[in-house]
Amino acid sequence: FYQKIEELKQRLKERGVFDEDKKIPVPAFVNNVCVITSKSGAVIHDIIKTVRKKNKSIDITVCDVRVQGTYAAADIAQALKRVDGLGFDIVIVARGGGSLEDLMPFYTEEVAMAVFEMKTPIISAVGHETDFSICDMAADLRMPTPTAAAEYIAYDEEELKSEILSLLNRGAQLISNNYEYKKMQLVSAMKSVSSRANEILSECAYNLKTINARLVSSVSAAFAQKQSQAGRVIAAFDKSSPLRRLDAGYFKIEKRGRIVSKVSDMERGDTVEIYGAGGSVNAVIL
């Protein structure tokens, strides 16, 4: 038996059946589990009792197989293939203790390959703590006894609820604290903005007042300068006005509505109009 087992171990090892990197991680929380074992044995009762101590919600399905004898290996391998596609979170292959001859179905290539090809995470719990079958080596996780496998999957439902509630309370408190902190930050920011806005408005008012004063001063200076220039122009126009010349003793002579600019423009007997300070007179050239 031992020689055949060692030869089989070597062959399976070379094929990568025991490689750690090919094992599927076993989930921490399961909702439905399939136990492949004999429903007439004490194992399934121990598993159900152990699970129900901590958890009332996990669904447990039993796949009844022969766990010793000539046809046990074929039964177990077929059961593994049959349940693999049924959507279980985890599969447990379990059997109580016994002699090596009794446990031989779990040392077969047929069972080892069926375990290795499983897509569903699988726990092997075969025999007592000292037993270490080929099925154990091929499984994703090995438990020393069926009861240990049950304890592993049976998370404490009430403890989990308590932890979740505690986390929710802590989360709510953190959210509340964060809200109050953000609220204080917002109020502080609004006060800062309001204060800064008043400063900006005061600064703008002062700047506008200064600019307005400069504009008034500049406009007044420009107006005074233009007024002075206009006065000089008016004085110049006034000084050069013909009326001013008439006031100085000069006369303007017109003949038939046209200004006479030289003596040769007049002939004896011409009637002319003479304009001077205070009015005009008609005259005849002699």
Contacts by residues 40-49 (CB-CB < 8 Å, ≥ 24 positions apart): 40/64, 41/67, 41/95, 41/96, 42/96, 43/94, 43/95, 43/96, 43/146, 44/94, 46/146, 46/147, 46/150, 47/92, 47/94, 47/146, 47/147, 47/149, 47/150, 48/150
Residue whose tokens read 């050069």: 240
Q: What proportion of the chain, given as a percentage, has pLDDT over 70?
A: 93
Structure tokens at 265: 């423009």
Stronger pLDDT, 148 or 187, i.e. the higher one:
148
Question: By three-state DSSP, how is residue 64 classified?
Answer: strand
Label residue 57 by pLDDT band (50, 70, 90): confident
Q: Is the pLDDT of residue 164 over 80?
A: no
Q: At which residue do the structure tokens 């000089």 appear?
A: 232
Cβ burial of 273 (10 Å; 0-12, 13-18, 19+) is middle
Q: Grade residue 208 by pLDDT with cuts at 50, 70 and 90.
A: confident
Query: What pLDDT does 245 receive?
Result: 64
Mean pLDDT of 113-136: 89
Return the structure tokens found at 112. 């080892």
pLDDT, position 188 = 83
